[in-house]
A and B are shown apart, each in its own frame.
Chain A
Amino acid sequence: MRSGPATRTVAAACAVAALVLVLGVAARPQVPSLSGQESGDPGLLDRARPLLAADARERASVVEIDGDLTRVAHFGADGGTVYEIGSVTKAMTSLLLADAVERGEVTEDTELGTLLDLGDAPAASVTLAELAGHRSGLPRLPAGFSSTFGMAVANYRGSDPYQADLDTLVEQVAAAELSGRGEVAYSNMGTAVLGHAVAAATGADYASLLRERLLDPVGMDATTLPVTPDNLPEDASVGHGPQGRTADPWTSHAYAPMGGVRSTPDDMELLARALLEGDAPGSDAMEPRHDAGGGTEVGLGWWIDVHGETTVTWHNGGTGGFSSMFALDREGGRAVIVLADSTMAVDDVANTLLLEEA
């Protein structure tokens, strides 16, 4: 007859199992869930809650504009909560371009090399409209192993992968090969350099231009472009990265024109109203100009989709800890903006809310 393990061994095995279970529970992934602290319009809260609760996020805000009426729904947030809006910043940069065109400071066909020192680099001949419409042929991100590796590590660390200063950005653009110029291919590098080019044409830096020509005229006083972490307040809001952990703020440095703005639901409402009413500087940027494939058109930095009888003009955004979607039904005088504090996209949330009432 075979004897079993000694009692002491069994006890040790049980202790190890218990230790692993305790450590496993203590070290569990910290995935956020939607806050139960709600405020706003009861109807919109009921419509937005299941959409937002379906994915991992803690704080979220929805702004819905319908003519003169505005409804809001906040989860763990309020109208003044600061979110990183990520690439919605690109839409703002394109508004600045269209405004500069209206002022006669540049044209859509102004070549990048006339505004920034690119020598005889291929990118010197790229036009501002090509940059805004993602048709420049510039890569999405800087090429090269070190850049790619650095971006990957930053993504896993939840830190800001965009550390280049303006000189470095210009060097990256000058070194870039153009691929598929004329075809729509999303480029963070393109919009980043576009912002600095427009600023150079006006004799200002990008942050000042954004403040003077868009944020101040629209009244977006709570919206900021920190550019570097030094300009962030100590209590700067942070979101949740893909691993569920708290992510560092993204200020994006010289890449700020493509994704560095921090804003609030209240300010996003102001921008949406100004755009719907045609009062925002550079609103012409939203007019469709080129086919982007898959039924989507692109204006100057803005995307245009047709859903049934509703034309949606939009831009989404994402950073290391936040997601955003800014969607306009210009013909219907309607808009939905969704801001949230995780990397889970909110595009479908905004589109669902916008289209279910259309």
Chain B
Amino acid sequence: MTTWIPLAIGAVLAAYLSVDAALIALRGWRASGRFRFADRWDVLSRTLNITAMTVLILVVVQWIHLPAALWYLLVVLVAAALSGAVLRWPELPWRGDDGAASARRSSAIGGSVFLVFAVLLTVFAVFL
């Protein structure tokens, strides 16, 4: 088997999750500015996204080719992201007062349902 293909897939997925989790962690520590949570739907959407991505990476990536330290790095980033989201949660409204709130809510619900369904399907295909 060509080794670089699973290596590349693992690297791309890990890089995606790392950036996503780092940005969420950043939002958790900022109450204003560009990188901040708009509302609770925004928090739910983003945290569900990285949780699903983490499960996907655990199941799909060919870890036999990658250093175990990469997994622990991802776990630390996800922990920082989720704890940051919890920190910011109480002060956020369920729905922001900007014009994009409705779209954000729909996107959060639809995207999250799709992602969770895709992950469950993958886990089902792998383990059952």
Interface residues of A (CB under 8 A from B): 2, 5-6, 9-10, 12-14, 16-18, 20-21, 24-25, 27-29, 31-32, 55-56, 153, 156-157, 240-244, 318, 342-345
Contacts and interface: CB of A to CB of B under 8 A. Distances in A.
Interface string B81-100: 01110111111000000000
Given A5-B87, A240-B64, A243-B62, A156 B126 contact: yes
A243 B68 contact: no
Contacts of A156: 60, 125-126
Contact of A9 (B75, B79, B89): B89
Contacts of B87: 5, 9-10, 13
Which among B64, B65, B72, B89 has the highest number of chain A CB atoms within 10 Å?
B64
A31 B68 contact: yes
A17 B126 contact: no
Given A17-B82, A25-B75, A31 B125 contact: no
A295 B80 CA distance: 53
A242 B65 contact: yes
A318 B64 CA distance: 14
A24 B72 contact: yes
Contacts of A242: 1, 6, 62-65
B71 to A, nearest CB: 6
A17 B58 contact: no
Nearest to B32: A2
A20 B21 CA distance: 13
B42 to A, nearest CB: 17
B68 A28 contact: yes
A32 B68 CA distance: 11
18 contacts: A5-B87, A5-B88, A9-B86, A10-B87, A12-B86, A16-B79, A20-B79, A20-B82, A28-B68, A28-B71, A31-B63, A153-B125, A156-B125, A242-B62, A242-B65, A243-B63, A244-B64, A343-B1
A302 B89 CA distance: 65
A243 B82 contact: no
Contacts of B4: none
Given A17-B83, A24-B79, A27-B58, A343 B64 contact: yes
8 closest pairs, A vs B, by CB? A24-B75, A29-B63, A242-B62, A17-B83, A20-B79, A13-B83, A13-B86, A17-B79
Nearest to B86: A13
Given A153-B125, A156-B126, A21 B76 contact: yes
Contacts of B1: 242, 318, 343, 345
B22 interface: no
Contacts of A13: 83-84, 86-87
Contacts of A153: 125
Given A16-B79, A20-B78, A157-B126, 5 more contacts: A17-B83, A20-B83, A24-B71, A24-B76, A318-B1
A31 B84 CA distance: 30
B61 interface: yes
Contacts of A25: 72, 75
Nearest to A30: B63
Interface string B33-77: 000000000000000000000000011111111001001101110
Contacts of B78: 20, 24
A9 B31 CA distance: 15
Contact of A29 (B71, B79, B90): B71
Contacts of A344: 64-65
B14 to A, nearest CB: 12
A6 B91 CA distance: 10
B64 A56 contact: yes
A29 B1 CA distance: 20
Nearest to A155: B1
Nearest to B125: A153
A136 B24 CA distance: 55
A173 to B, nearest CB: 24
A20 B64 contact: no
Nearest to A242: B62
